[in-house]
Homo-oligomer: A and B are copies of this chain.
C-alpha cells in the first residue's frame, strides 16, 4: 500500500481531494450514522480500540518521522514535546475508547415530551449534530480523542490537526478507518481534512450547511480566530481567569485550603485560580498566613499595595496582571473594600469561566452568585470543581465560556441537538385560517 494521503487512506487516482470533498464524504457518512444503533456505534469504538493497540508500531514510526522533521525545522522543545506520543499514551487512548463504549448513549433520549389536549403526541428526541469539524494544534492524541467522542454521539468527525503532526495523525486515522470497515459505522465517519495550510482551515470555516459545528481545541489564539472568522457555528472553550474571593464572613481555614487547592493542585488548567481578592476586614488575619503558605508552595504573588504590605515576597502587580491567565504558579492578589467591589473587579477582569466565594454568610453567597455573569460560581469550594468529571457529566469535551448551546463543563450532549417528533392520527390544525397576506 502506498503512503496514504492525509485524509486517511483514500486513493483517488491522483485527483485532488479537497476540503469540500472531505466534508461531503463526512456528510454522507453522518446520514448513515444517524440510523445506526448505540450497540453498533459501541462495537465500532471497541474495534477502534483494538486497531489502535494493533497499530502502535506504525504510529510510533510515523511519530518519530514527525519529530525528526520538526527538529530539522528548528521547532522549540515545547513543540517537540507536544508532538510526541508514547506507547503508554496509545494504550490510554484505546482504553478510553473502550470506556466510552460502556458509557450511556448520549443520543436517542427523550429530552421532553407530552400529549397535547387534542391528543397529538409530542416528543423532543436527542439526535446527533451531524458533521463535527475539529481544528486542533500539536498533540496527536486529540485525533483519537475527538474521533471517538464524535462516533459515540453519532457524529461524523472531520479532523484538522496541525501540519507538524500530519504523519502521526494520518497513521492514527488510517488505523481507525481500517477498523471501521468491518462495522456498521461508515469508514468516512472519520475523515481528515487534506493538508493545504491555513487555506484549508479557512475553507472549513466557510462550509456552513455541510459542517454543523466547529470545535477548536488549543490556545486562545486559535479559538478566538475561529470564533471571529467562522460562518460555521463554533463551540468555544475559553480562557479561565478564575478568582477566589475571601469574604469578611469567611472561615479562614477553609479559605486557605480552597485557595491553595485552586492555585496549586494543577496550575496549568483553565479552572485553576489566577487571582485572589480579600475583603479588607479579614486582610490582616488572612493574608500573612496565606502569603506564607503560597510562598511555601512556590507561588509568585503579584499584589496591589495593600497585599504587598503583608509579605516581602509579593511583587508589585501591573495593570496587565489582573486580566492574565498565568497557567503557572503565579497569582494576582488585591484587597477589596466590599463584596460589591470584588464583584466589580471580577466583572471587569474575569473571563466568565469560574468564580469562587468563601463565606459563611448566606446573604453574601446569594449576592455573589446572582451578580456574576459566569459559567460556574463556586461557594465554599475550589474552582477546580468546574470539571465535567467532578460534576458527574461523564467524559468532558471542554469547558464552554459561551452562552448559547452549552455553558460550563460540557459532556457529550453538547455534540447533540434535538428533533421534535409529532405523532397524530390524522390531526389537522383547527381554528379559522388567517386571511391571505
Contact = CB atoms under 8 A, between A and B. Distances in A.
Nearest to A403: B417
B433 A265 contact: yes
Contacts of A378: 422-424
B130 A373 contact: yes
Contacts of A329: 436
B267 A436 contact: yes
Given A375-B419, A407-B419, A402 B233 contact: yes
Q: Max chain B CB contacts within 10 Å: which of A265, A268, A409?
A: A265
A271 B231 CA distance: 26
A427 B382 contact: yes
A380 B423 contact: yes
Interface string A184-201: 000000000000000000
Interface string A387-400: 10011100000000
B436 A385 contact: no
A174 interface: no
Contact of A266 (B233, B385, B405, B433): B433
A213 B403 contact: yes
A130 B407 CA distance: 14
A428 B261 contact: yes
A364 to B, nearest CB: 13
A377 B268 contact: no
A114 B233 contact: no
A347 B228 CA distance: 30
A227 interface: yes
Interface string A345-365: 001000000000000000001
A420 to B, nearest CB: 4
Interface string A102-130: 00000000000010100010101001011
A409 B420 contact: yes
Interface string A209-235: 000110000000000000110010101
A434 to B, nearest CB: 5
B427 A369 contact: no
10 contacts: A114-B392, A233-B233, A251-B426, A261-B428, A328-B436, A377-B421, A379-B423, A380-B424, A380-B425, A404-B404
Interface of A: 31, 34-35, 114, 116, 120, 122, 124, 127, 129-130, 208, 212-213, 227-228, 231, 233, 235, 251, 253-254, 257-258, 260-262, 264-269, 327-329, 347, 365, 369-371, 373-382, 384-387, 390-392, 402-405, 407-409, 417-429, 433-434, 436-437
6 closest cross-chain pairs (CB), A and B: A381-B424, A254-B426, A261-B428, A381-B427, A384-B429, A403-B417
